[in-house]
Amino acid sequence: MTTSSPGTTGTPLESATRALNAWIELELDALDNNAHVLRETAGDATVMAVVKANAYGHGADVVGPALEAAGIERFAVVFLPEAVALREAGVTRPVLVLGHSFAEDAETAVAHDITLTVDGEEQAAAVADAALRAGKAPVPVHVKVDSGMHRFGLAPDEVAALADRVRTLEGVTLEALWTHLANADHEDDSFTIEQDRVVAEAVRLAGPVPMRHIANTATTIRHPEFRYDAVRTGLGLYGALPDHTPNPGLQRVLSMKARLARVFDVSPGEGVSYGLTWVAERQSRVALVPIGYADGYHRALSNRGHVLAGGRRCPIVGRICMDQFLIDVTGVPGVSEGDEAVLIGEQGGETITAAEVAGHIDTINYEVLAGLNRRLPRLGHRKGIVEATC
Ligand SMILES: *Cc1c(COP(=O)(O)O)cnc(C)c1O
């Protein structure tokens, strides 16, 4: 994995994408803006950028180093290999693994200065041993409190027992207790308040720790009292928002584009794509978009939603295939083969957001973004000059 390919960086975006069927553009100025806005919003808390799932589909190899350059202090991912990939992409600041890992992961984590969330004594001891062997002791570990979401984590009494055990180990220090909120994007905050209370109880039982972190994007923006020592912001960095969350000035980073591969006429009664599920009722003009469900553009979007072409919203017609689908461009002037189509992003003053796409298929913007496949090249640019690709 590389953060730049010499043939592309420094090139204007138009020439870099001229011979691409489909791609993702990342506006690095918008990413910088979002990092600064969330930094301001977080006040005294450290901002931990959540770049799991390939930076929510944006491309972690581009996003990680760009966020570090923008001053982000810490990073978080869910699985160890994601953390190792961040290091390989050049990220040097602390990286936390939020999800489950194994005692067997200790050596790799320590070798790459990656902080694990430990959930058991055997694992804590393995990290301590690896740290001592590597001459890096003591290394920090975090412990997750299950404060009521009942997913990963330990109950407060188990947290206290693990904290006691960790304090006996020479090779590790307990840097933080943290939790994840189940209803941060709900209008009703009562369960968030309850979860905060459970974490406070865990802290009381476990004794003082240097850090506590519970806030995701929604909580960071909505609840200053829950920012504590660090906030873990994901979605907001990408300029998208959870439900019931006001926008403090975040801007969309990602655009998903394709180059129309064929523009042609279909006559009344003729169908298109698998199953011929759309049949022209009138003389129609359709255009072929070379992206499909293998790219993360869900098959459930068949005959639903729009793509921007010729500066207009053009309806999706027929089934989304693995690699391509059609849009109806009847009556849209001047649409021709080779034109750019916008699946997420802006064209001619019209905008399609990930949230709009999600709305057609009964899901959330998180899933639309995180599901974008690695087949699509990512081009990070500033004002149209390509700076990094992956
Ligand atoms: C994904 C994730 C986050 C980030 O949530 P956003 O709503 O995207 O800000 C924070 N913490 C944990 C544990 C996560 O898994």
Site to probe by mutation for ligand 1, drawn from 51, 116, 142, 180 as the one with most ligand atoms within 8 Å of Cβ, is 180
Whether 366 sits among the annotated catalytic residues: the reply is no
Per-residue confidence (pLDDT) for residue 264, from 0 to 100: 98
Distance 54 CA to ligand 1 centre (A): 13
Ligand 1 atom at minimal distance to the Cα of residue 216: 9
Residue pair 385/13 in contact by the 8 Å Cβ criterion: yes
Choice among 52, 56, 228, 297 that is catalytic: 52
φ, ψ dihedrals at 321, nearest 5°: -95, -175
| Alpha helix (H) residue ranges in the chain | 13-17, 28-42, 52-56, 60-69, 80-88, 106-111, 121-133, 156-168, 190-206, 217-222, 354-360, 365-370
Predicted pLDDT of residue 5: 56
The closest-lying atom of ligand 1 relative to the alpha carbon of residue 242 is: 7
Strand partners, 287: 263, 327
Ligand 1 atom at minimum distance from 98 CA: 13
Q: Distance between CA atoms of 106 and 80, rounded to whole angstroms?
A: 10
- How far, in Å, from the CA of 78 to the mean position of ligand 1? 9
Residue pair 353/255 in contact (Cβ under 8 Å)? The answer is no
Integer angstrom CA distances of residue 210 from 93, 148, 193, 228, 229: 18, 23, 22, 11, 8
Shortest-distance atom of ligand 1 to CA 178: 13
117 touches ligand 1 (CB under 6 Å): no
pLDDT score recorded for residue 1: 43
Instruction: Verify whether ligand 1 is closer than 6 Å to residue 242 (CB atom).
Output: yes
Token pair of 78 as six digits: 């869910």
pLDDT of residue 325: 98
Spatial separation of the C-alpha atoms in residues 296 and 370, rounded to whole Å:
9
Which residue minimizes the CA distance to atom 6 of ligand 1? 234
pLDDT score, position 2: 46
Q: How far is the CA of 50 from the centre of ligand 1 (A)?
A: 6
Nearest-CA residue for ligand 1 atom 13 is 180
**Ligand 1 near 216 CB (within 6 A):** yes
Per-10-residue mean pLDDT of the chain, 390 residues long, equals 64 97 98 98 98 98 98 98 98 98 98 98 98 98 98 97 97 98 96 98 97 98 96 98 97 98 98 98 98 98 98 98 98 96 97 98 98 98 98
Residues 269, 213: Cα–Cα separation, whole Å: 60
To the query of whether residue 297 is one of the catalytic residues in this protein, the response is no
Ligand 1 centre to CA of 180 (Å) is 8
CB atoms < 10 A from the CB of 345, how many?
20
The answer to whether residues 329 and 306 touch, using CB atoms and an 8 Å cutoff, is no
Q: What pLDDT does residue 121 have?
A: 97
